Amino acid sequence: MSREIIRRMLQQATLAAFDDAISSLAGEHLYAVALTTDDGGMSPGLCVTTVEHHRRRRAAAAMSGDLSEPGYDAYLRWDTAEWRDELVGWEHFEAVARVIDETADDADDWFEEHIAALIAALAAVRAARGHLLDGVTLFVSVTDGDEREAVENLSATELNPPEVSGPFLRRYDG
């Protein structure tokens, strides 16, 4: 299957999963949406989080003393493993993941193309659902790779206006 077909499937899956996630928020206020993948570029998934969820996690961390650790608040706020919904709407991505697994090649540009496809999928969500994403940070993350921060920063810069991407890009400045 061509990479272009995979790209279209990924965009459709991302939009459907996003719509499912939004419908489950029950009045909570979204502040970040991410597409994640592993370092092999094989398993895309959508993660979302809310202001209210972050406040709850932060309060629990403060009570346990974890917030005294440098960078822990940034970790709670921006690491998708700590978010409200990790891999939400997975059923929409199952077919995409299967096709990627069946057709992925060892070409030198596979991973870069996959990251570009994830960025394009989130750009499509912003274009289609922008009224729901005012002030919301969108980015792509790699769950288990050395290139994680570089991918996150690149995607945040491409997907968000400067007033949204700026605070994200400074998230580890201390």
Task: pLDDT band for 3, please (50, 70, 90 cuts).
Answer: confident
Residue with tokens 């990479």: 3
- Given this model, what pLDDT does residue 135 score? 97
Digit-coded pLDDT (tens) for 98-139:
888 777 666 667 788 889 999 999 999 999 999 999 999 999
| Residue range 147-165: mean pLDDT, rounded | 96
Task: pLDDT band for 54, please (50, 70, 90 cuts).
Answer: very high
Digit-coded pLDDT (tens) for 29-48:
999 999 999 877 677 999 99
Strand segments (E) across the chain: 30-37, 45-50, 85-88, 137-142
- Given this model, what pLDDT does residue 35 score? 97
Burial of 48 (0-12, 13-18, 19+ CB in 10 A): buried
- Given this model, what pLDDT does residue 105 score? 62
The pLDDT mean for the chain works out to 91
Crossing angle for the helix pair 110-129 and 3-23, nearest 10 degrees?
A: 40
| Gap between the terminal Cα atoms of the chain | 45
pLDDT exceeds 80 at position 56: yes
Digit-coded pLDDT (tens) for 70-103:
899 999 999 999 999 988 999 999 999 888 877 7
> Alpha-carbon distance 49 to 20, whole Å?
13
What share of the chain in percent tops pLDDT 90? 70
SS3 breakdown of the chain: % helix, strand, coil, rounded to 5?
A: 60, 15, 25
Between residues 68 and 39, the one the model is more confident about: 68
- Given this model, what pLDDT does residue 24 score? 93
Between residues 18 and 2, the one the model is more confident about: 18
